[in-house]
Structure 1
């Protein structure tokens, strides 16, 4: 009986397995033995691509950062109808997203609490998120201070709602989410001010 050909893994496959493990177990679970078992290969394959575990962790941070920034830039690229684009960004990031993506985000933030390098990467990604969103608000005609405030509010909302199970909070959660979208995105008051 012929043996099946040996699986050839590249650096990216190891990094993806590390990201999956990070989502499931946090950074302490990202160990060479665990990844080799998960990938059904020997540890020797790992050392072909990485100097050591720290080299892998650096690759994980860079891969996550590059992917997040690329996605942020893509989602916030002005389209000529900036208000519609802001609604799109809110919808994309506050929708029921990939559960693994949320878990990776949480694991990255937990890692950043204990590791200065991870903290710098998370801070850089957050700065990109806020700057790109602010540019959309500015392009829609808002002054700088309001654009900055709304960009922070946008991300506070999308991250908060991704971690909450609020479906039973109110009978009309869809209406609440739409009201929140309006409050964040609109360049005009959402209600008529009282007459004096």
Structure 2
């Protein structure tokens, strides 16, 4: 990269850097703290450089919502559509979201839902996202042979349970959560998870069960 370009990058930052900083402030202090001057100070760039990437603060906030849609809504939908031989494997694919923030960011979800309490527009985005996610979960159950109504109820139950976890900011040790997973699977699907499915699930989250769990 030429020297002039490197200088411009330092001076202006980048669109992704501005968004990353905005997300950090949103998570730390709520949407009221997401303002241009604090962001510029955090990035150590000129305030005017903001306008290279965004028309105004509202455009930045719209971009935050769009990134949340892609991260959490589409992340969850993708997991419901991931390859699975059976409903147990499918539901464990979804449970990956609750343990892997690269698939679904619970802190971000809480921040957006808190923002929605102050904004009718954001509340509308939440309503739309909830519907898309529940429909995706219901389709997953239907794909594995459940009738439409039970599929919808099971999908809603899974989703509302997890949103409850997020809204209450529930904290559980990984061991505690993993020990509860088989019962959650059985409650949500009506099927007992085979040991092999659980072993694969444990492995991809770096969990080593105790002797009594094996």
TM range (shorter): 0.7 to 0.9
Q: Which residue of 1 aligns with 2:13?
A: 9
Q: Residue 140 of structure 1 contacts residue 187 of structure 1 at CA under 8 Å; is this kept in 2?
A: no
Structure 1 counterpart of 2:92, from 82, 87, 93: 87
Structure 2 counterpart of 1:19, from 9, 20, 23: 23
CA offsets per residue over residues 87-112 of structure 1, 9 Å max, x none? 2212x1332747x9322111100111
| Residues 1:138 and 2:151 are matched in the alignment | no
Greater relative contact order (CA < 8 Å, ≥ 6 in sequence)? 1
List alignment gaps of at least 5 residues for structure 1. Answer: 189-196
Deviation at 1:185, TM superposition (A): 2.4
Q: Which residue of 2 aligns with 1:116?
A: 120
Judging changes above 3 Å, is the alpha-carbon distance between structure 1 residues 81 and 45 closer, same or farther for their aligned structure 2 residues?
same
TM-score w.r.t. length of structure 2: 0.74
Partners of 2:144 and 2:18 lie apart in 1 by 42
Deviation at 1:177, TM superposition (A): 3.0
Partners of 2:176 and 2:91 lie apart in 1 by 23
Q: Which residue of 2 aligns with 1:191?
A: none
Q: Residue 83 of structure 2 contacts residue 90 of structure 2 at CA under 8 Å; is this kept in 1?
A: yes
Q: Residue 22 of structure 1 contacts residue 29 of structure 1 at CA under 8 Å; is this kept in 2?
A: yes
CA RMSD of aligned residues (A): 2.7
Q: Which residue of 2 aligns with 1:192?
A: none
Q: Which residue of 1 aligns with 2:35?
A: 31
Judging changes above 3 Å, is the alpha-carbon distance between structure 1 residues 187 and 137 closer, same or farther for their aligned structure 2 residues?
farther
Q: For residues 1-196 of structure 1, what are the structure 2 equivalents within 5 Å?
A: 5-6=7-8, 7=10, 8-83=12-87, 84-90=89-95, 92-95=96-99, 97=101, 101-162=105-166, 163-166=169-172, 174-186=178-190
Judging changes above 3 Å, is the alpha-carbon distance between structure 1 residues 47 and 172 closer, same or farther for their aligned structure 2 residues?
closer
CA offsets per residue over residues 114-169 of structure 1, 9 Å max, x none? 112211222222112111111111111111111111111111222334531355xx
Judging changes above 3 Å, is the alpha-carbon distance between structure 1 residues 65 and 174 closer, same or farther for their aligned structure 2 residues?
closer
CA offsets per residue over residues 41-60 of structure 1, 9 Å max, x none? 11111022222111111111
Count matched residues. 182
1:79 is paired with a residue of what secondary structure? coil
